[in-house]
Structure 1
Amino acid sequence: MSDLPAGIYFALLPQEYIDDAYELEVQGYPADEAASLESLRYRQAHAPALFLGAFLAPSPQSKPVLLAFACGTLTSSSLVTHASMSSHDPSGTTVALHSLCVSPTHRRLGIGRALLEEYAKRAREGAMGGVQRIALLSRASLRELYKQVGFKEIGESEVQHGQEKWYDMVLDLNPAEEDVQAPAEAAAVPGGADLQSIPGAAVPASGGTEPDPPTMDGPTQAQVIAALLAERTRPPAPDSRTAATIPAGELTDARGRNVQRLRCLRPGCGSLILLEGVGELREGGEESLFDLDADRPAPHPLFPPITPSQKWWLVTPSPMAFENVAFSRAVPPAAGDSGGRARKYLGCAECELGPVGWCWEGATTEYWVSVDRVGYRT
């Protein structure tokens, strides 16, 4: 992978960054090619595992800044089609890459190419889940750029958008050994151009609101996500321990940070939620005293009820600090809530067990996870 400036990292794009992605989209594509805000929301909602961002965290206390993103949907076709631009087929085996955009202020730093390489790496590591290739459309002037990353030119595409011709490019995630081409053997790029200099270098977007995805037999969206993120999914048995079975001195280090990984409590799931050293143990405190079960008759059988002595893991500064977490829709403030702010519940992104924690709706840098509602494993 290309060398990157310090502080840049890759993570799936949370819903709250869609507006930022849209800004990059309109900066990177002509008005008649840029995806609509509704299109980006559709892709993030229906194919979140295919929506990857490059972020910069200026400091531990600040909200990370979105520098670039790549997004796509699944299709049953081996090439990008008009239909794939406006739908997501969960049973598809081809990732149709629709957008690759880099902030104008951060081009020519290697971010675009590194993002595409990371995107391909994640797809390749989940190939056993059914994803076999990444397909995109390229302008004639950009074909050699994609070849540097391993894409092959198939020919002129049947998909035409505007006056310009587009060309089908495909990256086979499981190529035959003799077909593998090392980066050094790829064709040279004329004029010293590189991927990170491209404002938007993938598929022309379709306008308008995206339709509902097709209903068909095949893998569910959760299964697709699990396959593409295999390195972050279910660990092997045994199941995680609960906080009640762990001596207090074995939960935190000298800084009060978690020394064991936080995982989903559901037997057979165990999805990794938080790495060691990320959460800070807190107890008491006005903001941590929130009843996760206030709007439900009783907690899930796996969960103890929230009490005034409840301990919490405080996670900062953004959702990217988590390895795997899901957020609920905004919950209006309860009657008599002096804070008067809506909140969101946190849960397991794989099996949807929850709530295990909460955060404020909107701009926030604090995420609270109940010590007793997650499992622990080193």
Structure 2
Amino acid sequence: MGAYFPSRNLVGYINATLSKSESFTTESMHQHDPDGSTVYIHGIVILASHRRYGLGSALLKEYIRRLRENNQTRLSRASRVLLICHEHLVNFFIQAGFSLIRKSPIALGSDIWMEMQLELDLISNRETKTTTDELEHTMPPGVLEALANNNSPRHISRSYSSFSNSKALVSSSGENALDIVCPREGCGSLILKAGNAKYRRTHSFQLEPPDSNPIPPLQHLPPPPTEIDWWLVTPSPYIFENIGFSKAVPGIGQSKTKLLTCAECDLGAFGWSQEGGTEFWIAASRVAYH
């Protein structure tokens, strides 16, 4: 999840995955399991010019709020949040509602790391200590509004089929003319901003096993070698605003394929990429537009 302020400029983000692991391990840091019940926060990053305003705290609180909201709407069912942090940040996370579990066995450099946990079904007194009024006195104007509006499902999106032809989605330079968002009702998370993917018309790709149906509202893709519309993102996944990756699965030839999903609600697959590759393909008909 990211914070955008002002004019949709990214000033901070939280990077996380789901896992079935009971503790924060090296393996859990490199894999995302959509069926997991533990959220692992890998990083909370704030632009240097926007630090010391409480933005990191507000971003973390908003992220936790959304996790709890998703639990209530059944978009996902996460039971707790785990993270590791430096010793001097322990109190910061305690104030956000986390509890100190132990000294982490994970070794990253020469620093000592502490493992912390927050139960999503419980709300501690510390979590309610910092009020919105207090934050408004310490943060630049507009930041709280940016957090509330970021990746919001309130904006109206359009399905691929609602356009008369794909030309309406392509800019004069051959890129996506509109923002690409998750098509699931109640999510609508921003996946990719306009102007960050190239339009391609090429062979379809099998995103589900032959005997399986895609998760609604996703539609079946025609079998290869039928040509369909794609969005090609390259060379890095960091171009995405929000994207999830499956475990590597057998793909074409000797390579392995990772399926692309919504990182907020796990809907997918939207597309695919080769493990370790620099091309990320999004099926134009499996996402929505804003």
Alignment CA distance shift 1:118-1:304 (3 Å): same
Report the Cα offset of residue 310 of structure 1. Answer: 1.0
Whether the 8 Å contact between 1:14 and 1:319 is mirrored in structure 2 is no
* 1:305 corresponding residue in structure 2: 221
Which position in structure 2 is the counterpart of 1:12? 15
Distance, in Å, in 1 between the alignment partners of 2:93 and 2:247 is 40
Matched, 1:279 2:204: no
Cα–Cα, structure 1 residues 116 and 367, in superposed 2: closer, same or farther, change >3 Å? farther
TM-score after normalising by structure 2: 0.57
Alpha-carbon spacing, 1:249–1:293, altered in 2? closer, same or farther (3 Å): closer
* Structure 2 residue 287 is matched with structure 1 residue 350: no
Q: What are the equivalent positions in structure 2 for 1:122-161 lying under 5 Å apart? A: 122-126=59-63, 128-129=65-66
Partner AA of 2:56 in structure 1: Y
Conserved? CA contact 2:258–2:272, under 8 Å = yes
Q: 2:176, 2:197 within 8 Å by CA — same for their partners in 1?
A: yes
| 2:281 aligned partner | 368
Supply the distance in 1 between the matched residues of 2:283 and 2:52 (Cα, whole angstroms). Answer: 34
The CA distance in 1 between the partners of 2:259 and 2:180, in whole Å, is 17
Give the AA of the match of 1:231: N
TM-superposed CA distance for 1:359, in Å, is: 0.3
State the distance in 2 between where 1:128 and 1:14 align.
Answer: 16
Contact 1:244 1:372 in 2 (8 A): no
Paired residue for 2:42, among 31, 47, 51?
51
- Cα displacement (A) at 1:311: 1.6
Residue in 1 aligned with 2:167?
A: 249
Contiguous gaps of at least 5 residues in structure 2: 4-9, 19-23, 70-82, 104-111, 115-124, 139-146
Q: Contact 1:124–1:173 (CA<8 Å) still a contact in 2?
A: no
State how far apart, in whole Å, the 2-side matches of 1:373 and 1:182 are.
43
> Distance between the aligned counterparts of 1:43 and 1:340, measured in 2?
22
Report the CA distance between 1:291 and its aligned residue. 2.0
Query: C-alpha displacement at 1:52, in angstroms?
Result: 1.8
Aligned match of 2:26 in 37, 42, 57? 37
Amino acid corresponding to residue 175 of structure 1 in structure 2: T
Contact persistence 1:262–1:272 (CA under 8 A) = yes
Consecutive unaligned residues in structure 1, runs of 5 or more: 2-6, 16-34, 56-108, 184-227
- Which SS does the other structure have where 1:355 is aligned? strand
Number of positions where the alignment pairs a residue of Structure 1 with one of Structure 2: 231
Query: What is residue 341 of structure 1 aligned with on the other side?
Result: 255
CA contact (8 A) 2:184 2:267 kept: yes
Q: Measure how far apart 1:257 and its partner are.
A: 0.9
Q: What is the deviation of 1:229?
A: 8.7
Distance 1:372 1:39, change over 3 A: closer
1:120 counterpart (38, 53, 57): 57
The one-letter amino acid paired with 1:248 is S
What is the CA distance between 1:272 and its match in structure 2? 2.3
Pairing partner for 2:153 from 199, 224, 234? 234
User: Relative to structure 1, is the Cα distance of residues 114 and 297 closer, same or farther in structure 2, using a 3 angstrom cutoff?
Assistant: same
Q: In 2 relative to 1, CA 259–315 (structure 1 residues): closer, same or farther, beyond 3 Å?
A: same
Q: Per-residue deviation at 1:312?
A: 0.8
Distance 2:246 2:102 in 1: 39
Aligned mates of 2:188, 2:17 — CA distance in 1: 22
Q: Distance in 2 between matches of 1:158 and 1:374?
A: 40
Question: Between the two proteins, what is the percent identity of the paired residues?
Answer: 25
Distance 1:174 1:292, change over 3 A: farther
296-305 or 251-260: bigger deviation:
296-305
